[in-house]
Amino acid sequence: MPEKIRVRFAPSPTGSMHLGNIRTALLNYLFAKQRNGALILRIEDTDQARNVDLADLKILKDLEWLGIACDEGPFLQSERTHLYQEHLDDLIANGFVYRCFCTPEILKEKRKEQIEKKKPPRYDRTCLHLSDDHIKQKLVAKKPFIWRFKVNSDQAFTIKSMARKKLSFDMKNFSDFALTRSDGSFTFLFSNFVDDWLMEISHVIRGEDHLSNTAMQAALFDALAVDTPTFWHLPMMINKEGKKLSKRDFGFALDDLKSEGFLPQAICNYLAIIGGSFKDEIQSLEELAHSFDFDNIHTTGAIRYDVEKLRWVNHKWIERLDAKEILPFIVPLSFDTFPCAKATGNTPAVASLWPARQDERACIEGCCPVSEEKLLYLVSKVKNDCSVLKDFVDALRFCFEDPEIDISVIDEKIGKDKTNSVASLIDDVISYVPKSDLFIEHVKREGKEKGLKPKEFFGVIRYLLTGSFEGISVHDIIDMLSEEQAISRLKKL
């Protein structure tokens, strides 16, 4: 009978989602999709001191935005403490754990002494040897304590690994580890073990930084005679200097990428292909779920984050999507840049695309200078030249704001005499602006007669209309602007 595939994404609500979180969620999602399994979302919120208010809701919204859908959950570990207590009681009853009264200060001092003596820093089992009377005295005195798991140093565990085939741990290299905190809450290590067991997790896909605690979880699975899942420890992501990726690196936080204008499709696509080899690099989640080779995973110490490659992937996705799919991501960026005070009063059809507060939606209704149809047309004209969504704002700025024109810049570019010739040309053809084809036809004819090169007269016309000598065709610019806009700008020369 085929193995029932069940994986989990288990973030802590301690801040914004970052690239490591996203890649973990993504690969769990792709694996579950490919193997007809289930992805469970579990929020590790047992450490109340580190939790951030509403961070769990932010995780849900971020996953939804990325297109990563979970099959079960979210389950909050803070609501499952009765289950952890039940299985801790089993370990207590069977003698696998003991109370440890050592304070953080004592443990810190012990660790310091061991390091000074060049010994491995590990718990020295002071409290394992306390007599029953001594323990009772401390309990009567209400001394805080934690429960520690008693490691059998004679044991060794071998677990299945998706990347390494198998992983072996000699428990003589590990010390007794904590299952609870002094406030009675349960540690990440223990709550994860219980949940992975009860939720029947078949494969644990998580970061390489969790490799060492896998041995401790293996010891817990063994203590309660439970089958251990298969593991895949994902390589850590590093920056271009070879250091662990951190909040100081641009794009580390998902919010940074969203505000810069990276598409969710591109972020997922990039995080799936880095560290691997793909014949076709631009793939949707559905395509990646089909093509990702989970049977031949290459082991590597780290994978390098390359923001320029991410930018390239984003550009390819902008090219791949049609304007209607891109527009909902652009409207908020455009609203921030072009406030409604500059609007012409035309009633738009874009209010439903505006994913913001109600007061902001109300503000934009009836104020946007163009209709949804016009916006779609504008986006379609410039999208192949944009790498991130913010590029659309710059590329389309001329449609919403008159560019600042400096005639001396034109004189410097082509010479004062030719500037005058272009001015004369514009006077001759400006009546044809309402029909872009006729306008271009007469511009070419008049320009040739005046001895001007196409680059000179089209460059100046483009500069007058957009503020730049380079860019999209003058024909498209004329179509993108209103007749009044185009004529008023051309008359500035």
Over the stretch 86-113, which tens digit does the pLDDT of each residue have?
999 999 999 999 999 999 999 999 999 9
Over the stretch 261-294, which tens digit does the pLDDT of each residue have?
999 999 999 999 998 888 899 999 999 999 999 9
Q: Can you name the residues that pair with 204 across neighbouring β-strands? A: 231
Task: Please give the pLDDT value at position 369.
Answer: 53
5 to 33, 52, 192, 200, 455: CA distances (angstroms): 10, 32, 18, 9, 62
User: pTM of the predicted model, to two decimals?
Assistant: 0.87
Would you place residue 336 in the very low, low, confident or very high pLDDT band (cuts 50, 70, 90)?
Answer: low
Using CA atoms, how far apart are residues 375 and 392, in angstroms rounded to an integer?
A: 11
Residue that has been written with the tokens 């500037």 in this structure: 419
What domains can you pick out in the chain, each with its CATH number?
6-79+237-315 (3.40.50.620), 81-234 (3.40.50.620), 322-397 (no CATH), 407-490 (1.10.10.350)
Task: Please give the pLDDT value at position 186.
Answer: 95
Using CA atoms, how far apart are residues 389 and 394, in angstroms rounded to an integer?
A: 9
Predicted confidence (pLDDT) at residue 353 exceeds the cutoff of 90: no
Query: What DSSP string runs through 407-434?
Result: HHHHHHHH-HHHHHHHHHHHHHHGGGTT
Predicted confidence (pLDDT) at residue 62 exceeds the cutoff of 70: yes
Over the stretch 158-178, which tens digit does the pLDDT of each residue have?
999 998 889 999 999 999 999
Over the stretch 291-331, which tens digit does the pLDDT of each residue have?
999 998 877 778 999 999 999 999 999 999 999 999 888 87
Task: Please give the pLDDT value at position 393.
Answer: 86
The average pLDDT across 389-398 equals 90
Which residue type, as a one-letter code, is found at position 325? E
Task: Please give the pLDDT value at position 352.
Answer: 33
The average pLDDT across 325-341 equals 67
Of all residues in the chain, the percent with pLDDT exceeding 70 is 92
Say which residues have a Cβ less than 8 Å from residue 353's Cβ, sequence separation at least 6: 327, 328, 331, 372
Q: Is 471 left (phi over 0), alpha (psi -120 to 50) or beta?
A: left
Over the stretch 13-32, which tens digit does the pLDDT of each residue have?
887 889 999 999 999 999 99
Task: Please give the pLDDT value at position 371.
Answer: 76
**Exposed, middle or buried, 315 (CB in 10 Å: 0-12/13-18/19+)?**
buried
Task: Please give the pLDDT value at position 296.
Answer: 87
Say which residues have a Cβ less than 8 Å from residue 29's Cβ, sequence separation at least 6: 9, 39, 68, 69, 70, 285, 289
C-alpha R_g of the chain: 31
Task: Please give the pLDDT value at position 78.
Answer: 92
The average pLDDT across 220-239 equals 94
The average pLDDT across 361-384 equals 69
